[in-house]
A and B are shown apart, each in its own frame.
Chain A
Amino acid sequence: MTGDHPQEMAATSNSILVTDPHSGDETSLLEILDHVLNAGVVIRGNLVISLAGVDLVYVGLDVILTSIETALKHLQNDVPKPKQ
């Protein structure tokens, strides 16, 4: 669809901002990340995220994956509360 995209990075007219996902500017990057993480179909699967060499998240087959953010929410809800 390259031929359908305006070549300019973004244009405004009467307050409507037209962003091109291929432009590479910050707004477009945010749009892309929003789509990649929040659009599309979900499937069951595994996910491990590590930070500084420590595995933070392991989502088993019983949890529907949506996005990293959502997966983290699932995991936070599933973590047993410390005993008082």
Chain B
Amino acid sequence: MTLLAYCVTKTSAVVDAPLTGVGGSPIQNVEHGDLRCFVSPSTEDSPLPASQVRDAALAFHRVIDRIFDQTAIIPFRFPTLLPRETELIAYLAEHLVEYRAALTRLRDMVQMEIGLQFKGSTSNRGIAESSGVLGAEAKPSGTAYLQKIRARHEKLEVAAKELRQACLSFTKEWRQRDSSEGIRCFALVERGSVGRFQTELRTVGIEPDLDARLSGPWPASQFLKEE
């Protein structure tokens, strides 16, 4: 029987999991050592219709969110399907030490995310057009394009640094990476400090041509590995 895997917790965590998950299938536990994985049965005879992916993904999220409300979790991406329970147990065995350590370290932690980008621009094509790379008067624009890309990135980096500085006292760890739209920042925050973290960030001034969007709390999936 194929299993849809939702997330991993420690067996010591007392969790009131939802009764049903994606497609109304019952939520079950698979345990190995001190790890518990929440799954629901899924039959290969009835594959996921593409038209229902969104609803299924949201149902998946609801299960994860309910469990995450109660304890630290390691979420699986949707859809993670395994053909048999034995393969899930083998996976848990392979990652037992790593996941145990992560769940202990992240026990009282959540992940807050900040997306930073320029207003009204989501791709480098817009920069190319405004630099003249695309279009008739394109001749001197290669260097201009690269300079503009670099200047924009530097501006985003400065904004990210200011945000990080503003919430330093509530942040246990900070990671960031470039995305196609700009920069994504991830802050590891204690569960009890989320409200203060949000309040603090609301006071930060952002350059008028930038957008900053804060979301969370999320499972601390960006912090599973120590750096």
Residues of A in contact with B (beta carbons under 8 Å apart): 1-2, 4-6, 11, 13-22, 27-29, 31-33, 35-51, 55-56, 61, 65-68
Contact = CB atoms under 8 A, between A and B. Distances in A.
B60 interface: yes
B24 interface: no
Given A15-B206, A29-B58, A46-B2, 15 more contacts: A15-B208, A15-B211, A21-B215, A22-B65, A35-B61, A35-B218, A39-B219, A40-B219, A41-B74, A44-B82, A44-B91, A45-B81, A47-B48, A65-B79, A67-B78
Please provide the 9 A-B residue pairs with the shortest distance between their CB atoms, ordered closest to farther.
A48-B47, A40-B75, A4-B194, A15-B206, A13-B202, A40-B77, A50-B47, A51-B50, A36-B78
B50 A49 contact: yes
A16 B112 CA distance: 14
Contacts of A22: 65
B66 to A, nearest CB: 11
Interface residues of B, number: 58
B53 interface: yes
A28 B80 CA distance: 23
Contact of A17 (B7, B57, B213): B213
B51 interface: yes
B72 to A, nearest CB: 12
Given A4-B195, A40-B75, A65 B81 contact: yes
Contact of B217 (A4, A28, A50): A4
B217 to A, nearest CB: 5
Contacts of A1: 68-69, 110, 191, 194, 217
Contacts of B47: 48-50, 55
Nearest to B205: A14
Contacts of A35: 61, 218
25 contacts: A1-B110, A1-B194, A4-B192, A15-B212, A16-B201, A16-B212, A17-B211, A18-B201, A18-B202, A19-B215, A21-B65, A22-B65, A28-B215, A32-B58, A33-B58, A36-B64, A37-B57, A40-B75, A40-B76, A42-B77, A43-B91, A44-B91, A47-B81, A50-B50, A67-B77
